[in-house]
Structure 1
Amino acid sequence: MMRRWWVVLLLLLAPLAQAAAVHAFLDRSHVSLGDTVTLNIQSSGSLGTPDLSPLQQDFQVLGSSRSSSVSIVNGKTTSTNQLGIALKPLHAGTLTIPALDVGGAKTQPLTLQVGSAPSGGTGKTGDPVFMQSSVLSSSPYVGQQTVYTVRLFYMPGVDGALSDPTANGARLIQLDRDHRYTVERDGYAYKVIERSWALIPQRSGTITVQGPVFQGQKMGLGSPTLQMIDPNTLLNNPNALLNGQLPGFGQPVRATAPSVRLDARAAPANAGKPWLPARNVQLKLTGLPANGQVNAGTPLTVTLSISASGQPADALPEPELPSIAGARVYPDRTQDATDDSGEWLQGSRTRSFAIVPDRNGTLTIPAITLDWWDAANNRAEQAALPAHVLQVSGVAASIASATTPPAAAVASGNAPAVSPSPVATDAAKKPVVTAAAPAFWRGVALASLALWLLAIVLACAWWWRRRGSSARKQAGGTDADMDAAWMDRSAARAPSRPQPPAAKPDPRALQRRALDAARDGNVAACEHALLAWARIERPQVTSAGDLRGLLSDPAQREALDALQRARWQGGDAAPACASVARVFARGFAWRDDQGSARLREPDLPPLYPS
């Protein structure tokens, strides 16, 4: 009977265990009206079909997809099932996604901010491509991070490259959080790439952010290239330059994101020093012993870290320990790290310190504080670590107790002999063991001093012997010395042998180096090797511009231009390097001799100079 009750109880608890393993999240927390958002539901077990009827009041359900993954970590296998549901908000405002029933399990409620449909941007609805830009805060403090976002709307068949924005007086760091989704604008379906940058003003006043530029082509519907390309690949990769498109097919398209202005504020008067605006700042000290006990003369390694949300690592102060009485402190190098995968930069600086106590007793590590400015709540804050007290024992304490004689015996000089007690005997034995460490270092110091003196003696002996040999040569010296001097003079009178000419660089090796760098996608190495290869045939080539002026093949000149754009303008490196590897595989196509002769210096001076 009891066994049946246990079975019934397990059956009742099974849905609760399954519910705890279900997790729901959105791919974005802020969207505009007309955008789509993906609701993801994950489970470590089987994932049933959810009831989507509670969503129909605020969302249009566009479709769903399923995926699964298996990971093995330290021999433990974990499987995850995920369900993605594409939703389109029906109205603006703060929308709540209620808890959904997934096979008896419940997901947690979620909140989505839906703004009105954006307007503005170069281009308009119906164009093949247009762009919009925005900034999260238009009046940040100097040094405070805000988020600059650009949205690229493009129709099917559009392919090209997107440059980076520029701002005079602000620092821009691209965030690794691109979003791709679909929207509908006035009956037109667009693919959207949403790219964000961390924007940090470096001065107060008005700062203008010049938006990025998109340049590409739109392939026609009748193009055979478009029919052969996978549509999903083309739509989801608009940054792949000429993705399989033949030259001459398609219409050029261009769009520029509108500029954005912001007014950077100076640091407030009540802000602490150093000025550190952030969303959160934490101090952490690790490595302290759990029992609070340390040994004198033994290094204790602790690690101090400073982490901040909304700041890169190079904007944080260097971790420093305050002065510690009774110990020597040896700092290590600082390790910096910046995580740019989220909306806010996560910077951290970590530094290790070796603390060596030099006496017994109490060792106090003072409290550590760091003033910062809470940019989210606009107020001054302070991160703090409390003081830590450690107890030091060991070598210093034992030596002091063993080497200090009783005061009365020292004063009288004839202290009576007393048989040692067991306690006194043990105390007398302790210095023998603990004094080994100072005796060892004293021996090392004496050995080092002896080696130093020996080196000085050997150097003086060598100098004295060389000085005597020089004097003998000047005075005539022995027969052997005279023979050696005669041979030296004979060798000096003998004609010197011509040195072999320096080996010239191998053009084939340089060609292989340039083509290998192009196949690897290394833009800088490809350009350096290409110029070195070209200088073998045209020594006057000093830059990519000189090389381009000497080439006769338009394809080679175009490939060289693409390589320059990829290196200096943020273009796509893969297609540029592939083009270089293809057009330079058979060498350079130089211009005619007359054209090149006008650009290079003569190899030999004129026979009859004027």
Structure 2
Amino acid sequence: MRIFHLLTARHGATLLKATLLWLFCFSSAWAATTASVDRNPVAIDETFLLTISSDEAGFFDSSPDFSALNHQFNILSTSQQTSSVNGDTTRSWSLTLSPKTQGKVSIPAIEVADQKTQPIVMNILSVKQAPRGGSSNSNNQLYVEASADQNTVYKGAEFIYTVRVYASIQLARGSELNQPDFADATVKELDNNQFQKRINGVAYTILERRYAVFPQSTGELEIAPAVLKARVPYGRSSVFGQSQVRTVTRRSEMTTVNVIDPPESFQGANWLPASQLTLQQQWSKDPKQLMVGDSITRTIQQQASGLIAIQLAPIQEPKIDGLKFYADKPKLEDSATATGSVATRSDSYAIIATRAGSFTLPAIDISWWNTSSNRLEHATLPATTVVVAANPDQAITTIAPTAPNNNLQAPAPTSIRGDTPPPAQQTGTTLWQISTGLFALLWLATLAYCFKLRRPPSSMATTPPSNKADANEKDAYAELKSACDNNDARQAESTLLSWGKTFYPGASISSVSDILLASQSEPLKHAWQQLQNNIYRDDSTTWQGDSLLSAIDNCRNATSKNEEELASLYPR
């Protein structure tokens, strides 16, 4: 019996130890904390999913510290999930990461409560090392390419930068392609295209975005990689037909373009590197069939391929005695074609002939550099002759009575009865009296007609101007005066046309040139040219509105004085 108790005690102790060891091992296995990635290796322009799971969810509340990952990776998103099966709770975290460097990169151990995950060594490939097209690897299903159509360009010349996104999978809503950073360059987005293409037997949807780039400084122009943040489906669809979506990042390689100075052989006033430049002109009517007082509009259009409109210089109007020039607002337009940007600039000015004669407008020559043939070229317009004839409607003809001709002899009438004809002196006197009376009647008729022309119609003499029209003019003048007082050039430009339409209601005012024609005011013309120079010719000085306002006031005062004089001449 004693031996039995001894054996029982010995075996009981052994059994207890075995039971405790089994419970410890089971507990260790049950409380496992793990880290895993969805794929390895990955490319530098890709993202991958890191999942950390722990069965210790019931023993802690706070989330793990993931800050150690920031040394080698970008944390793009983090999500958390908790599940419970038969009373066993599991907590997991999913992190979308993108690598910062290439080569062998380690994901450090992450501490969860009192346990740590095992480190994971990631193999990060370069963009060139990563395979492209025709395989099931997700890196081939979605990638980005960027390129420039030229390796070396002149400063200010155009090159085309193209970004393409290749996708053999469906992208979810919310995917974004960043705007490239071109540093010191002017950029115009040309177009966005989408088309299909098969690569190694795999169908791809290609999203293409093109930019016209005009570098503004010489040296190496480095264009940062294009970055796509795409939302792509993964895993199985839910019972509602919706797939899980994750964010992935794709990058192109950096693009470098060498920018050089203009060639020394170019001696033009304005550096214009273009693949084509043309110069054309249009006239509102035949410039060789004008009369004094006529107005004609000349429009000169520059069009250049491979430039933007702000690079085209204005065409200066000439100064010619006998012709007055009134410049209108230039029109600038940029358009996109399959080959790049096309710039158009139109300069228009009205010409008023002030005297008769033949006038020669000088030839126009624009030097530009042909980037296709790499040589200097010229766009020209030949000299143009403007012929102005006297205006008969403006000539003042005075009809004066003609002195009598005492020597005027009338043929002697044939006497039927053989009477002696009257003396010659008596016949001349009779004709003189008839001529004098006739000319006197004509002179009186002329005076009466001129008096009728000078006298305004009764409606003009008796009907005062419309109160509504007068109020509109005052409102327009107040806006114009405010713009001039504030030295606001842009506002003055727009309000001047509004004022002119109300101040000259009888004239057809559609542009400032029409206002200048109606006013015939040299101060107003000079003030308008100063305003245009400040706005459109890169005048860095602050525009002063006092000269324009003074010219407007002179026009208003002159009109008021004329109305008072008419009122005194033709009282009601």
TM-score in terms of structure 1 length: 0.43
